[in-house]
Amino acid sequence: MADEQHDGARISFGLFQREQRSLFGEILDWMLTPLLLLWPLSLALTWFVAQGIATKPFDRALEFNLQALTQFVVATDKKVSFNLTPQARDLLRADDSDLVYYQVLDARGQLISGEGDFPLPDDPETPEPGRVLLRDDMVRGDEVRVAYAWLARGTDGKQLVLMQVGETKGKRSTLATEIIKGVMVPQFVILPLAVLLVWLALVRGIRPLNELEQKIRARKPDDLSPIEESFIPQEVAPLVSSINDLLTRLKTSLTTQKRFLADAAHQLKTPLAGLRMQAELAQRETDPQEIRGSLKQIARSSSRATHTVNQLLALARAETTGRALPTAQIDLAKLVTDVVRDSVPRALEHGIDLGYEGPEDMPEICLMDGNPTLLQEMVRNLVDNAINYSGQGGIVTVRVLFDRFSGVQILQVEDNGPGIPENERALVLQPFYRALGTNVDGSGLGLAIVHEIAQQHGAVVMMEDTHAEGPRRGLRVAIRFAARRPADE
């Protein structure tokens, strides 16, 4: 079967696989293949039906002839005779297209009249007298339709006579052929017309998809607006809705990335400009003390730039790849104690009293699914923020609380620093935002990283004052997790 082309799509009628599937071709195959397969079956059924239709009227005529001839079978006590009148003989020879054979036998099988080579019926038992039966047989090499009956003759009705009349099937075959021609000829016209109408209907039905393709192809690369759904067929609406959802998420992601790149460039300008300025000053200075001071400023600016870059990389990893990283069962208490232990040297360097309150290991019921790398980054940022803002002689306390029955666990990091005003707590969760009135170097990314990682783990970030009164209210940041519960709990 030949392939056809429609709008650049490869279409085949039938049973060959394509490298790229065509919706038009698939529908056309499933509609036309059954039609083409059923057509020969329809012709075969028509032939059988035509045979039955052509047989019935001629069978009735044959039965009538048999019953007419039985009137000429006469039986006496001594013998059975068949007295065929000239008019009856003409009845047997009235048809020019078919031959008619007859035979009359007595109960002993002796021929009374007719053809001696007429085949006998193969009935296992003698049928009821007077009942006309039909069968197909061969007489002198010709296929014939035979009507036969056993007749009861004699005064006592006990003399049985077999009467058979056979007719060749010329008229029957001619009528069956005419019926088949009458059915087949219209089908030869209707079938190609049906194929054409199906093809045209599919072309019209699939046109909205072609229009949708053209609209999408004509879009500019930066056009991420949703596709209009008013002209979309109902069957394609879920697909278009999914594409619109993807476009919305892609637009949000690109907007976030653009904002992130702009903020990152802005944040890196300051330390890099400071590095350049200090380097130029050091080149012009001749006093060793001034050169040493410039080098200290260069070291400080490079440290700040390095910290900013590390924070930017951590935020980018949390925003873009956090969901794709592998997860494992996390013991929050063990993870937090490891981070606190690693932060002790830095706390001692700043004169900070860093402590941990909570269990060494979590119960198995409170283990949760998460990414250990991101969770360590989250805890480390909380601890670093607390150390940076507590100042010399400050106190930083890290706690892990859990409820064995509800499976909820909470991470708390509190300090006695200046705290964050309540009206700014939602803002500090955004990248590069820093609360006013702080003299601590930073990039404004720590709590943004914490918020992003917490969201990816289904946790909630809460902030409150450590102390209700005083100039140093402090800050307590709480991360509330819902632990994965076992199936039988």
| pTM of the predicted structure, to 2 decimals | 0.46
**Least confident span in 125-129, 161-165, 368-372:** 125-129
Q: How far is CA 401 from CA 81, 365, 425, in A?
A: 122, 14, 23
Read off the amino acid at residue 258. K
- Give per-residue pLDDT as tens, 252-290: 877 777 766 666 665 566 567 767 777 777 777 777 777
pLDDT at 18: 47
Do the Cβ atoms of 10 and 25 come closer than 8 Å?
Answer: yes
Confidence band, pLDDT 50/70/90 cuts, at residue 443 = low
Number of C-beta neighbours around residue 212 at 10 A? 19
CATH tag for 69-172 (out of 2.60.420, 3.30.460, 3.30.450, 3.40.720) = 3.30.450
Question: Is 7's pLDDT higher than 50?
Answer: no
Residue written as tokens 């330390």? 271
pLDDT at 253: 75
Residue 272 and residue 295: Cα distance in Å, rounded? 14
Number of C-beta neighbours around residue 423 at 10 A? 7
**Fold of the CATH domain 221-320:** Helix Hairpins (1.10.287)
Show me where the domains of the chain are located.
3-50+177-212, 69-172, 221-320, 326-482
Structure tokens, 387 = 């150390």
Q: How far is CA 444 from CA 308, 383, 418, 421, 431, in A?
A: 9, 15, 16, 16, 6
| Same fold across 69-172 and 326-482 | no
Q: Which residues contact 113 (CB under 8 A, 6 or more apart)?
A: 82, 84, 102, 103, 104
Element (H, E) at 462: strand 460-464
pLDDT at 6: 45
Structure tokens, 347 = 């706390």
What CATH code is assigned to 326-482?
A: 3.30.565.10
